[in-house]
Amino acid sequence: MRPVIPYVIAALLFGIGVYGVLRRRHAILLLMAVELMLNAVNIVLVTAATTVQATLAAAGVGTPYTGHVFALFIIVIAAAEVGVGLAIVLQLFRLRSSAAVDTVPLSDPDPPPDAAHATAAEPDPPTAEAVPR
């Protein structure tokens, strides 16, 4: 019989993660939400591994640990991402003294005469939403 509860937990966790990613303005908190999503995946993997192990053990074929290994890898990936991510967010914070994700524009701002090098310290923190270009 397939375990249902862990899948439900994983689904909920992933939902919360997604909600966190979409709502949170601060980069670090957004990172945490992503970690939640990754851990949800881990849960799915571990439960799936046990069910596979059960079916395979019955059939006598021995490759039981794929799921677990996959979970380990995901943990490693998450760790690496957090490491690099924090460094980048820090750099942004140092430059913009704000790590708000929604102030990072996707398309090029109106090219002020000298768009090449933004001055180091921005005198006034940018308003919540840059004037729509």
Partner 1 sequence: MTTHAPLAMLLPAIPFAAALVTLLLPQRSRAVAATLGIAGAAGALALTLVLLLTFDQPYGGYVELVRFGELAVSFGVRVDTAALLVAVATGVVALAVQVYSVSYLHDDQRYAPYAAQVSLFTAAMLLVLVAGDLIVLLVGWEVMGICSYLLIAHDRRLPAAPGAAVKAFLVTRVGDVGFWLGIILLGVGAGSFRIADVLAAVTAGEISGTVLTVAALGLLAGVAGKSAQFPLHTWLPDAMAGPTPISALIHAATMVAAGIYVVFRLYPVFSGATGVLAVLGVMAAVTMLLGALAATAAEDIKRVLAWSTVSQLAYMAGALAIGATAAALFHLLTHAAFKALLFLGAGIVIHAVGTNLMSGMGGLRRALPATFWSMTIGLAALVGLPPLAGFWSKDAILYAASGTAGWVAALVFAAGLATVVVTAWYATRLWLRTFFGAPRPSSQEGSPLQAMAVSGDPSSKPVHGAPPLMLWPVVALAVPSALLGFAAFAEAFVPWLQTPDPVEWAGEYVAGAQAPVPVLAEQELLHIGVFMVVPVAAVALGIVLAWAMWRRDTAADPARLLGPVRPVFAHAFYLDQVQHAVVVRPVTAFARAVRRTDEVVVDGAVEGTGRGTLGIGALLARAHRGAVPRAVAAVLGGALLFGIVAVTLGGAW
Partner 2 sequence: MIQTIDHVALLPAYLAAATAVLALVTDLALARRQVTVAVTATGAAATAVAAWVVGTGPVRETFCLPAAPDACSYVADQTSALMAVLFALLTLGVLGLSTGALRSLPTGEYCFLLAASMTGGVALAYSRDLITLIVALETLTLPLYALVGLKRRSLASAQGAVTLFVVSVVATSVTLLGAALLYASTGVVHLNQLAAALTGGVPAELQTLATVSVVLILAGLAFKVAAVPFHAWAPAAYDGAPVPVAAYLSTASKLGGVVAVLYVVVLGLRPWLDVIGWVLAALAIATMTVGNLVALRQRRVVRLLAWSSVAQAGYILAPLGVFAVASGRTDEALTLAVTATIAYAIFYVVIELAAFGSVAAMRGGDADGGEIEAYRGAARRAPLVGAAFTLALIGLAGLPPGLAGMFAKVAVIRALLGGGAGWLALIVAINAVIGLVYYLRVAALLYSTPPEPEPAPAAVPVPAPAPAPAPESTRVTAPVGGPAAAAAAEQEPRPGPAAGLAVPAEEPEGPPGSSAVPWAVAAALAGATLVAIVIGFAPQLVLDLATLAVP
Residues at the interface with partner 1 (CB under 8 A) = 18, 21-22, 101-107, 132-133
Report residue 10: phi and psi, to 5°.
-60, -40
97 contacts partner 2 (rule: CB under 8 A): no
Long-range pairs, 121-128, Cβ under 8 A, ≥24: 121/97, 122/96, 122/97, 125/97, 125/98, 126/96, 126/98, 128/103
Q: In whole angstroms, what separates CA 16 from the centre of its chain?
A: 12
Site residues (vs partner 2, CB under 8 A):
7, 14, 17, 21, 27, 30-31, 34, 37-38, 40-41, 44-45, 47-48, 51-52, 55-56, 61-63, 66-67, 69-70, 73-74, 76-77, 80-81, 84-85, 87-89, 91-92, 95-96, 101, 104-108, 111, 113-114, 116-118, 120
